[in-house]
Amino acid sequence: MKLMSEGELLDEKSWKKLAMHTRCSVCHCRGWKLMCDSESPYVITSAFLDSVLFSTPCGTCKHSLGRHLDSIREKKKNDVRKLLLMMSDAEKMQERLIGNESSEILQIVQQTQRALTKEIGNGSSGGLATCSFGLPPFEPISIEDIVSNFIINKSGGKQKELENITETASNFLLAVNDWNIPHVKEMREKLSYSKLLYYRIIYARWLRFCSLPKKHESLRPYCVIKIFGRKFLITLLPFFVIDLKERASFVEDQIIEKLINFASDLRKNLSSDDSLTNSSVMLNFPEGVSRPTLEQGCPIWATESHLDITAHFFEADLASRESEQSNSSTHLEVGFVNESLMMRFIARMELTRRASKPPVHKMDAFEVDVARSEVSRLEECNGIISFHVISNNFDADQSRQKLTWLLQLQCLFSAQLPRMPKEYITRLVFDNRHKNLIIVKKERGVIGGICFRQFPTQGFIEIVFCAVTANEQVKGYGTRLMNHLKDYHVGAYHIYHFLTYADEFAVGYFKKQGFSEKIAMDKKQYHGYIKDYEGATLMGCQLHPWIVYTNFAGCLKRLHDLYRNAVKESFFEDQKKCPGVENVFQWHEGSLVPYAELPGLEQCEDELMPHEELEHKIRIILHKLRADKSAWPFLKPVNAEEVPEYYGYIKFPTDLKTMNERCRAKYYVHERLFVADLRRLFNNCFKFNAPKTLYYKAGYDLAEIARKLCQKAFPYLDIYPELPDAKPEV
């Protein structure tokens, strides 16, 4: 059944997924299901979609899957795509509900997910029109208008003073708009009971209309400064100032200081002057002076360390990613390393590290690079070298130290880049649109630097000049400098692309720093923005948001050492010699030698068990387990409504029904995968339930049966379902 013409974006799988969420055109069935008692349609594998036909009847209403699409087919392509986007967001939210986030967040996510599901079922692609805690705007006059009235009052309407304060006002608006407001649990001890109740409403509105749309494209995004007003500012400005002070180390001191003063003055005025929040009084800007806007602002909150961003991301989305991995049909089982074995690995690594190290071979590039990185890292820790981001802002009162560093950097670039005109270097180094990351060494001054220009709206920066003074090269300073630049942009601006034109002398350096001639960005994003240089090679580097580049070499070294020692600990006979190998090849002259006939490899199998035979054995085991009287707790997934804490405690849930579906989807390509799932099934039971419960007793009895069945079916396997030390007490 072909639903769309060639070249259109929707495939059959997308249509099938839509059918599972939309009402039947003939009856009142809320969505196509394979069987009446099937669980939520959000767990839909690719193999399942391939096996379902458009003629397959619904288990609820008996009408075909195609009948559930009649109303959708009549819609425009853009409306169908919107429905697909809504469906994708609903699935993500459903997965997020399994996580261990706070109840305040999960409650809003659940409400939004249910509203999306309802709209999809009705075939409505116009977005969510209702909300239990109101629709924006929530106050008669917005933060944006309050700030505009405030700066006009503060400047007295004088054009010059108004122009000076507009920049700070723009920074303030962007900072408030991008600020992650404190969680409700953080405010319980800081606010009175009545204020806390109102703050819960503020937080719910902010989460639903400002935060969630950043991750879910089907939700309409709103700006904080346009939907909130005086009450938001009065409640949160003190905590806003506290957070500004904590992030002072990531932003220029002058910007932070101005923002703190601006926020403090605004709060005083809001408490004493009602005219700022009077919706009938809107002050006009003088001609030629623009209102403060988000676009003119400098990012503040993006300047937090991307270590914190990564940690928050992992905490928030850990459950959903683990669920994706465990449900994926292409996911391979990773060998489990128990705690005692891991401790042996680490102990061996520590002993090796403390022992006298052999001299590094001159061709061991990995060890040499790590050693250089470590030297520069230690120098930075000891205060011998330091890194600074500086730029010329044309302010007469700017620091003389900064101007001195800019002059030293200009001289360094002129000396190290003789082909570049000095006037051109001077113009760019002192241009306020360009920034400079410099290395300052004690008693020497600037010994290296990178001049770059940011294009935040395009998502990249251009590296214009990069150099280290001649007598400080080959010490790891260049790599350390580039790594600091990467961390600065990942953590401070969420920019993940670097571009540069490298001459024939610089190509090698940039390749070592991860640059490539294959640009990961679309040409439309950077064409016309960066400067072209004849005879130079355009190179790009894509950054990863989870990597701390200044620690990258050391982390790789530790992983390398751990792996090497793990191999030695696990295979302590790695130097064992098995005689007779030469004779084996003589006996099999001109033909392949079976693994089992090689001395030392007697236990290796030449090939895996044929899939049909393996699947047959697995089906028999599953059938016997499901038929047993002790299988009742494991026949289907645990109901999250009946046992809400289960999915927060058990990270990798499974059940006999899911295992049966995996078997049909050809997931178990090896018997180890199947046995690993069985082990997980019983381990989850023993971990969650006490020995005095009937669930524990049923799991123990069924695990005994499963162990015997697996030993009989797979006699050469090295893992089987395990029984716990504690026996059931029922």
What is the pLDDT at residue 133?
76
Judge if 505 and 583 occupy the same domain: no
Per the CB < 8 A criterion, the answer to whether 31 and 20 are in contact is: yes
Per the CB < 8 A criterion, the answer to whether 28 and 122 are in contact is: no
pLDDT category of residue 358 using cuts at 50, 70 and 90? low
Question: Which parts of 291-434 fold into alpha helices (H)?
Answer: 306-327, 339-354, 365-381, 400-416, 422-429
What is the pLDDT at residue 609?
53
Beta partners for residue 441, in sequence order: 385, 445
What is the pLDDT at residue 305?
39
Judge if 165 and 273 occupy the same domain: yes
Is the pLDDT confidence value at 212 over 50?
Answer: yes
Judge if 596 and 702 occupy the same domain: no
Report helix, strand or coil for 566: helix
What is the pLDDT at residue 25?
67
Alpha-carbon Rg of the chain, whole angstroms?
32
What is the pLDDT at residue 306?
39
Among 48-52, 149-153, 446-450, the minimum mean pLDDT is found in 48-52
pTM summary value: 0.43
The pLDDT > 90 percentage for the chain reads 28
For tokens 């116009």, what's the residue? 126
Across the range 12-29, mean pLDDT stands at: 70
What is the pLDDT at residue 469?
93
Is the pLDDT confidence value at 179 over 70?
Answer: yes
DSSP 599: T
What is the pLDDT at residue 314?
36
Judge if 49 and 188 occupy the same domain: no
Tokens of 564: 């090497």
* C-alpha angle 106-110-113 in degrees, rounded to nearest 5: 135
Beta partners for residue 468, in sequence order: 448
* Residue 426 within a domain: yes
Tokens of 101: 């986030």
pLDDT digits (tens, 9 = 90+) for 638-658: 988 888 888 888 888 999 999
* Residue 67 within a domain: yes
pLDDT digits (tens, 9 = 90+) for 202-211: 999 999 999 9
Q: How far apart are CA 598 and CA 586, in angstroms?
A: 12
What is the pLDDT at residue 269?
86
Is the pLDDT confidence value at 42 over 50?
Answer: no
b/e per residue 526-543 (b: at least 16 CB within 10 A): beeebeeeeeeeebbbeb
Q: The CATH number of the domain where 543 resides is what?
A: 3.40.630.30
Judge if 396 and 377 occupy the same domain: yes
Judge if 549 and 489 occupy the same domain: yes
Q: Is the pLDDT higher at 377 or at 44?
A: 377
Across the range 15-21, mean pLDDT stands at: 70
Judge if 85 and 194 occupy the same domain: no
Q: The CATH number of the domain where 682 resides is what?
A: 1.20.920.10
* Residue 433 within a domain: yes
Nearest to 699 by CA among 619, 632, 640, 618: 632
* Residue 572 within a domain: no
* Residue 46 within a domain: yes
- Domain limits for position 219: 143-303
Among 405-409, 518-522, 598-602, the minimum mean pLDDT is found in 598-602
Q: Is the pLDDT higher at 568 or at 595?
A: 568
Judge if 532 and 460 occupy the same domain: yes
Across the range 166-170, mean pLDDT stands at: 88
At 267, the amino acid letter reads R
User: Going by C-beta distance under 8 Å and a sequence separation of 6 or more, which residues neighbour residue 568?
Assistant: 348, 574
* Residue 337 within a domain: no
Is the pLDDT confidence value at 250 over 90?
Answer: no
For residue 729, indicate whether it is catalytic.
no
In the predicted model, what is the mean pLDDT of the chain?
A: 79
Per the CB < 8 A criterion, the answer to whether 53 and 152 are in contact is: no
Per the CB < 8 A criterion, the answer to whether 545 and 490 are in contact is: yes
pLDDT digits (tens, 9 = 90+) for 256-298: 888 898 999 998 888 776 666 666 666 677 666 778 888 888 7
Question: Last residue of a domain, which of 538, 553, 568?
Answer: 553
* Other residues' Cβ atoms within 10 Å of the Cβ of residue 102: 10
Per the CB < 8 A criterion, the answer to whether 483 and 374 are in contact is: no
The pLDDT > 70 percentage for the chain reads 73
Judge if 531 and 455 occupy the same domain: yes
User: Going by C-beta distance under 8 Å and a sequence separation of 6 or more, which residues neighbour residue 346?
Assistant: 562
Q: Which of 95, 304, 462, 671 is catalytic?
A: 462
Across the range 616-644, mean pLDDT stands at: 91
Is the pLDDT confidence value at 500 over 90?
Answer: yes
pLDDT category of residue 310 using cuts at 50, 70 and 90? very low
DSSP codes of every residue in 48-81: HHHH--TTPBPTTT--BGGGGGHHHHTS-HHHHH
* Residue 86 within a domain: yes
Judge if 703 and 680 occupy the same domain: yes
Number of domains present in the structure of the chain: 5
Question: Last residue of a domain, which of 303, 330, 358?
Answer: 303
Across the range 539-553, mean pLDDT stands at: 89
Phi-psi region of 192 (alpha: psi -120 to 50; beta: other; left: phi over 0): beta
Long-range contacts of range 235-244, CB-CB < 8 Å, 24 or more positions apart? 235/191, 235/195, 235/198, 235/199, 235/202, 236/181, 236/182, 236/202, 237/263, 237/264, 237/266, 237/267, 238/267, 239/181, 239/182, 239/187, 239/190, 240/175, 240/176, 240/179, 243/179, 243/301, 244/175, 244/300
Is the pLDDT confidence value at 224 over 90?
Answer: yes
Per the CB < 8 A criterion, the answer to whether 88 and 10 are in contact is: no
Among 428-432, 537-541, 585-589, the minimum mean pLDDT is found in 585-589
pLDDT category of residue 40 using cuts at 50, 70 and 90? very low
Judge if 615 and 600 occupy the same domain: no
Nearest to 20 by CA among 41, 2, 1: 41
What is the pLDDT at residue 215?
86
What is the pLDDT at residue 543?
93
* Residue 725 within a domain: no
Judge if 157 and 113 occupy the same domain: no
* Other residues' Cβ atoms within 10 Å of the Cβ of residue 199: 21
